Structure 1
Amino acid sequence: MIEPGWDKETIAQSASLKQKLEDFDFTFLLGVFQSIFGLTEPLFQVLQSKTADIKKCQDRIMSTLSALKATRTDETFSRIYDDTIKAVGDPVPRRKRRCRGWDDLEQGFNQHQEGDEDTVVSFRRLYFQIVDSIVLHVTQRFADMEHLNFFRILEHTSFTSFCKPDAFPSSELAQLINTYPFFDEQKLRNELHTLYNNRLFHKPLIQLLIEDDLQGTLSEVYKLLQLMLTIPATSTSAERLKRIKTDLRNTCGQDRLVNLATIH
């Protein structure tokens, strides 16, 4: 319904959006990513939290991966597919496409028609490819998280437990020294004992050290804080930064790219 006073540009944009919302491909992708984002949103919130500890982040990453893998079922696909049919009607029959090779892809001759393909099979394959791609990227992005366990050393919420004789984070300290040998291990250990046994330090440390001018007194702890603030939580090796040539990316047609861009 066109409201009085709408200009031509607004009417055109509304008509375009309405057309998208009635498009089966777009609505199907909308349902797929709504399902996926519902699983990844809690992980995003944990990673953005200023108080989340490294163990909590690792646990949330693993639970998110498990939840994503659990959606890779015919039952989940059928639910999304059937919901899309209820919303916009049956899809237009799709055409089977195949990539001839990378050279042809560069020249723009990467696809050719091979006759009608079963529509349900086509969307099922697309759904599984999307889930597999996201699982792969999450796995790779956080593959180095286990090397950051030493972050627990300065989690102020754990200081109360660390002050117990048998609860000192020795393994995390050993990992730190093994990775960054420029620390004075014994001095750092002594400074950590001071932190753990004094409740005045059971709070976020960086501001406390600066305000009380303790950078020199707790020099190794301050050095560790500086290190932690410069390490990205999702660091990846140079090899992982190379683009992975996947079938999903190579066979992604223009219509699908437009749909994904609109959702984004």
Structure 2
Amino acid sequence: MEMFGVVYSIVQDIAADRSMGSLRGDADTCFSYMSSYEFVFTLCLMKEIFEITELLGQALQKKSQDIVNAIRLVSSTKECLQQLRSDDGYEEFITMVVEFCGKHSVEIPNFEEIYIMRGGRARNQPDQLTKEHYFRVELFRATLDTQLFEINRRFNEKVMDLLSTSATLIPRNKFRGFKASDICEMVKKYYPADFTQQDIYGLQLQLKHFVSDASKDEELKNKSTLISLCQCLVETGRHAVFNLVERLLRLLITLPVSTASAERAFSSMKIIKTRLRNKMEDDYLANSLLVNIEGEILETYSYEDVIEDFKKKNRKADL
């Protein structure tokens, strides 16, 4: 928004400069759009939405997402969007748009006038569509409803239930709200194909021992994410004892809001396993994906390290 005045002035100068040739016509068209109330209205709306959703978007880009904070961010983002969508939110928004228009000499329309849609939309234009109704309902509320729909679709009741219940497994939260029976009910409801009835009974027993162990052990009790908790279980060999707990953790960390690694893996697979390389074996594919996804780790290794590691194994020929 701060750059609007600068860009607006530059485009205006280009449109008025006869020496610019064909660029002058493009600049004139661009200037007419930028100087319209609808453009400013849309620009301000985009700014408000981006400011509300920025924290959630940044958090979801992290490889390891703190589930507790993810739940809070989803709830607060939805609440902020709902507040903006309300009548009071719209009045505050319009006040900001009008001030912006006044600052940059953009003409404010008469909202009682009939709004004329252009292009293909004109065929479906409602009768007596005023500019007030268009900007408030067709543009403002429709855009916010789309944003809320997308958030509710991705963070549906099932995902939020899984996140809320699984957050009680994190040791750093001191197992606040933890109930083994609730977790087992969650497993029955959402992972029936991964746990038999006998597994669920064994999981309930393992959870009690796991909580007792994690509450005392220095390595475990400071873990703040499911990924770091799962890694610690493997590194300390506890995954052999708490095998059902580890299985549950692995299922939970595949949720997109828990980690972006799963999405990165599928994106990388399209790049690595092409049509010409579709006979790649699983081990080689896994290694190639690891190199592609965890590129920052490879920066700590040099070519000499790879050569030395290669020489340690029995080879038919020298490298």
TM-score range normalised by the length of the shorter chain: 0.5 to 0.7
Matching residue within 218, 235, 238 for 1:199: 218
**Where does residue 218 of structure 1 map in the other structure?**
242
**Where does residue 89 of structure 1 map in the other structure?**
107
From the CA coordinates, give the structure whose radius of gyration is larger: 2
Name the CA distance, whole Å, in 2 between partners of 1:167 and 1:114: 55
Q: Using CA pairs below 8 Å that are at least 6 residues apart, which structure has the higher relative contact order?
A: 1
TM-score (norm 2): 0.54
Deviations 1:29-78 (A, max 9, x none): 01012112212223333444566543433333222222222222241342
Moved more, 199-208 or 44-53: 44-53
Moved more, 173-182 or 49-58: 49-58
Name the CA distance, whole Å, in 2 between partners of 1:112 and 1:127: 17
Name the CA distance, whole Å, in 2 between partners of 1:42 and 1:51: 15
Gaps of 5+ in 1: 98-104, 235-264
**Where does residue 183 of structure 2 map in the other structure?**
173
* 2:92 is equivalent to residue 76 of structure 1: yes
Name the CA distance, whole Å, in 1 between partners of 2:213 and 2:183: 15
Q: Is the 8 A contact 2:166 2:183 kept in 1?
A: no
* 2:172 is equivalent to residue 157 of structure 1: yes
**Where does residue 66 of structure 1 map in the other structure?**
79
Matching residue within 139, 144, 161 for 1:131: 144
Deviations 1:175-207 (A, max 9, x none): 334333514221343234322321222332233
Q: Is the 8 A contact 2:67 2:257 kept in 1?
A: no
**Where does residue 38 of structure 1 map in the other structure?**
51
- Please tell me the root mean square deviation across aligned C-alpha atoms, in Å: 3.7
Structure 1 residues 212 and 20, CA, compared in 2 at 3 Å: closer, same or farther? farther
**Where does residue 259 of structure 1 map in the other structure?**
none
Describe how 1:17-32 pairs up with structure 2 within 5 A: 17-32=30-45
Name the CA distance, whole Å, in 1 between partners of 2:29 and 2:170: 51
**Where does residue 121 of structure 1 map in the other structure?**
133
Matching residue within 224, 232, 242 for 2:256: 232
Gaps of 5+ in 2: 1-12, 15-19, 259-319
Q: Identity of counterpart residues, as a percentage?
A: 22
1:123: how far off? 1.5
TM-score (norm 1): 0.63
Q: Is the 8 A contact 1:191 1:218 kept in 2?
A: yes
Name the CA distance, whole Å, in 1 between partners of 2:83 and 2:177: 36
Q: Is the 8 A contact 2:180 2:207 kept in 1?
A: no
1:14: how far off? 6.1
Q: Is the 8 A contact 1:150 1:173 kept in 2?
A: yes
Q: How many residues align?
A: 216
Deviations 1:232-254 (A, max 9, x none): 349xxxxxxxxxxxxxxxxxxxx
Q: Matched residue of 1:89: which SS? A: coil
Name the CA distance, whole Å, in 1 between partners of 2:28 and 2:98: 25
